[in-house]
């Protein structure tokens, strides 16, 4: 299948070729013709599978026809959950629309609103926005949607996770009823389906992602560690393995700041990217990281969502995420577009439950390792993935714990012994709710 057989116009094919894309990805093969046909679309595909082009290319083609935007009007609106993602989508719109006479504007919070209001005066074909700032602009009458033709909800699952549902409902209320609506998501949860039911009209449903399957190209492993030794271990691993570029995930902003300080002390250049940083600081950190000036980028889940850093060789989970789906998103930062990548999780004994739900979700028991000099004094109990995932299950009779650790290396032999004496709660005896571990509590607006 070639891009040229999807019905795209010459200027778009030329832009795609310049991006170096050989052939369309599965989501593009299915999505592009449906969007071109003017249909509503709800599409799920894993992170890094080219969803942006699957809506941007046909969108540009559709907007080529029709009337120009009037003052303060937008013809198409793309909503994204984070500033970084908004900037990235806007960059893609520019790149793919290079040979078309269409205009685009991106707006998000954390920067001055006045210049955005000025730019919106002339109107725009495509507006890319985060929900909070868009509402501000709308309330100040800087933007109007009387002639909106297409609405796109990008990373819809993330928008819901981040608590944007109310903002989205408010925005929907002032959009024209007659429009094309496209919804893109990494997964189809129940919440996403009900969102789609409310706002989409007879959507074409496209699901090209094996649900919740971690990218096959990512080599995943667990390093057992005491909680208090994780920072030292990470520092050691970076130097010992000479890792040159890695993205480290932390649960909290403070944790991220602390880690950066400590790495800097150890002579490892690091930068943090999270919601308390100014937009300028986040953009700079990302640019420095991409340029190789910063070796370690430390990010929280929300800040990292949707960032495209191509060819990233390694992702480290300093702590496991509370929501198992976030693990899949995190490791999706590496091994993109067919490249191989590696994901390492530093896991302490108190995280064993999180580890178990993650293993259930991805359907595999992760390989465990220990680093000489960092063998934990609190051993991490054995886990074994449940092939039925985290779905509720009738309780079974407790089985005797297995002695063998999954894929342990030789260093771990001593560990095995101590694990033998840990018969408690290593297997799934209790039925667990799907999506165990509650939704993320932190609700942060992107603007």
Which residues contact Mg ion (rule: CB under 5 A)? 51
The CB-of-165 to ligand ADP minimum distance in angstroms stands at: 21
User: Per-residue contact track with ligand ADP, 293 to 312, x per CB under 6 A?
Assistant: ---------------x-x--
Q: Which does 345 bind (CB under 5 to 8 A by kind): Mg ion, ligand ADP, none?
A: none
Pure H helices in 19-144: 26-36, 51-64, 83-96, 114-120, 131-139
Residue 186 or 222: the one with the smaller Cβ distance to ligand ADP is 186
The residue (of 83 and 385) whose beta carbon lies closer to Mg ion is: 83
Q: Which is nearer to ligand ADP, 335 or 376 (CB)?
A: 335
CB of 398 to Mg ion, least distance (A): 43
Which one among 32, 43, 44, 47 touches ligand ADP, defined by CB under 6 A?
Answer: 47
Q: Which range of residues in 20-28, 62-70, 282-290, 321-329 is near ligand ADP by CB under 6 A?
A: 20-28
C-alpha angle 40/46/51, rounded to 5°? 45
Name the 3-class secondary structure at 124.
strand
63 DSSP 8-state letter: H
Q: Does 30 bind ligand ADP (CB under 6 A)?
A: no
- Least Cβ distance, residue 132 to Mg ion (angstroms): 19
Q: Which is nearer to ligand ADP, 48 or 437 (CB)?
A: 48
Listed residue (402, 396, 407, 395) closest to 422, CA to CA: 402
Selection from Mg ion, ligand ADP, none that 368 binds (CB < 5 to 8 A by kind) is none
**Of 276 and 283, CB closest to ligand ADP:** 283
Residue closer to Mg ion by CB (options 69, 328) is: 328
Q: Which residues contact 401 (CB under 8 A, 6 or more apart)?
A: 382, 419, 420, 422, 423, 426, 427
Residue 80 CB, nearest approach to Mg ion (Å): 8
Q: Which is nearer to Mg ion, 51 or 336 (CB)?
A: 51
Give, as ranges, the residues between 334 and 353 that touch ligand ADP (CB under 6 A): 336-337
Nearer to Mg ion, 160 or 237 (CB): 160
For residue 305, the partner it binds in ligand ADP, Mg ion, none, with Cβ less than 5 to 8 A by kind, is: none
The item of Mg ion, ligand ADP, none sharing an interface with residue 25, based on CB under 5 to 8 Å by kind, is ligand ADP
* C-alpha–C-alpha distance, residues 217 and 440, integer Å: 28
Binding mask 193-232 for ligand ADP (x = CB under 6 A): ----------------------------------------
Interatomic CA distance for residues 429 and 372, integer angstroms: 33
CA dihedral over 158, 163, 166, 167, signed as positive or negative: negative
Mask: binding to ligand ADP, 49-78, rule CB under 6 A, as x and -?
xxxxx-------------------------
Residues 390-409 that bind ligand ADP (CB under 6 A): none
Could you tell me which of 124, 118, 165, 154 has the C-alpha nearest to residue 137?
A: 118
Q: Which of 31, 48, 335, 389 binds ligand ADP (CB under 6 A)?
A: 48
Nearest to 411 by CA among 134, 140, 224: 224
Residues 6+ apart with CB under 8 A from 72: 120, 121, 123, 141, 142, 143, 144
Altogether, the residues listed in the chain come to a count of 447
| Listed ranges 41-49, 61-69, 136-144, 414-422: which one lies at the site for ligand ADP (CB under 6 A) | 41-49
Please say which residue, 88 or 386, places its beta carbon nearer to Mg ion. 88
Q: Tell me the site size for ligand ADP, rule CB under 6 A.
A: 16
Supply angle C-alpha 42, 90, 137, rounded to 5: 90
Minimum separation from the CB atom of position 51 to Mg ion (A): 5
Sign of CA dihedral 413, 419, 421, 427: negative
Q: Which of 235, 224, 230 is nearest to 414 (CA)?
A: 224
Nearer to Mg ion, 306 or 376 (CB): 306
Q: Between vectors from CA 177 to CA 174 and to CA 183, what angle results, nearest 5°?
A: 90
d(CA 235, CA 97): 43
User: What 3-state DSSP class applies to 436?
Assistant: coil
Provide the CA 289 distance to its chain's centre, in angstroms: 18
Per-residue contact flags (x/-) with ligand ADP for residues 318 to 337, judged by CB under 6 A: ------------------xx
Find the part of the chain contacting ligand ADP (CB under 6 A) among 23-31, 72-80, 142-150, 294-302. Answer: 23-31
Write the DSSP assignment of 174-202 as a string of letters: TS-SSSEEEEEESS--HHHHHHHHHH-SS
Name the residues that contact ligand ADP, by CB under 6 A: 21, 24-25, 28, 45, 47-53, 308, 310, 336-337
């Amino acid at each position: 299948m070639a891009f040229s057989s999807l019905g795209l116009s010459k200027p778009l094919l030329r832009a795609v070729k310049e991006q170096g894309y050989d052939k369309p990805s599965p989501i593009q093969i299915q999505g592009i013709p449906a969007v071109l046909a003017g249909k509503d679309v709800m599409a799920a595909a894993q992170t890094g599978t080219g969803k942006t082009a699957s809506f941007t290319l046909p969108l540009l083609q559709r907007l080529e026809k029709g009337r120009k935007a009037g003052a303060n009007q937008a013809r198409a609106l793309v909503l994204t959950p984070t500033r970084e993602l908004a900037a990235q989508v806007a960059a893609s719109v520019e790149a793919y629309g290079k040979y078309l006479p269409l205009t685009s504007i991106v707006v998000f919070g954390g920067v001055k609103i006045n210049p955005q209001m000025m730019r919106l005066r002339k109107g725009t074909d495509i507006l890319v926005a985060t929900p909070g700032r868009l509402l501000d602009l709308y309330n100040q009458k800087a933007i109007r949607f009387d002639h909106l033709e297409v609405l796109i909800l990008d990373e819809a699952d993330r928008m819901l996770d981040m608590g944007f549902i109310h903002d989205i409902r408010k925005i929907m209320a002032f959009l024209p009823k007659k429009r094309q609506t496209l919804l893109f998501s990494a997964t189809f949860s129940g919440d996403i389906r009900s969102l789609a039911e409310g706002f989409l009209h007879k959507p074409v449903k496209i699901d090209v992602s094996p649900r919740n399957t971690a990218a096959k190209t990512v080599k995943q492993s667990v390093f057992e560690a005491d909680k208090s030794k994780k920072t030292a271990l990470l520092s050691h691993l970076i130097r010992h393995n000479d890792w040159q570029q890695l993205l480290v995930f932390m649960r909290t902003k403070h944790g991220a700041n602390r880690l950066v300080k400590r790495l800097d002390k150890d002579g490892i250049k690091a930068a943090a990217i999270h919601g308390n940083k100014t937009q300028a600081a986040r953009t700079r950190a990302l640019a420095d990281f991409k340029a190789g000036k910063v070796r370690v980028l430390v990010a929280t889940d929300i800040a990292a969502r949707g960032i495209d850093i191509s060819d990233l060789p390694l992702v480290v989970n300093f702590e496991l995420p509370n929501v198992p789906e976030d693990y899949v998103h995190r490791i999706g930062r590496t091994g993109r577009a067919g490249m191989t990548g590696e994901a390492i999780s530093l896991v302490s004994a108190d995280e064993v439950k999180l580890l178990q739900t993650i293993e259930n979700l991805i359907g595999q028991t992760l390989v465990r390792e220990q680093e000489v000099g960092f063998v934990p004094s609190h051993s991490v109990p054995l886990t074994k993935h449940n092939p039925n995932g985290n779905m509720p299950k009738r309780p079974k009779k407790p089985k005797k714990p297995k002695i063998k650790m999954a894929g342990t290396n030789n260093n771990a032999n001593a560990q095995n012994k101590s694990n033998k004496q840990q018969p408690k709660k290593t297997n799934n005896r209790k039925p667990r709710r799907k999506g165990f571990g509650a939704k993320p509590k932190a609700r942060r607006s992107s603007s």
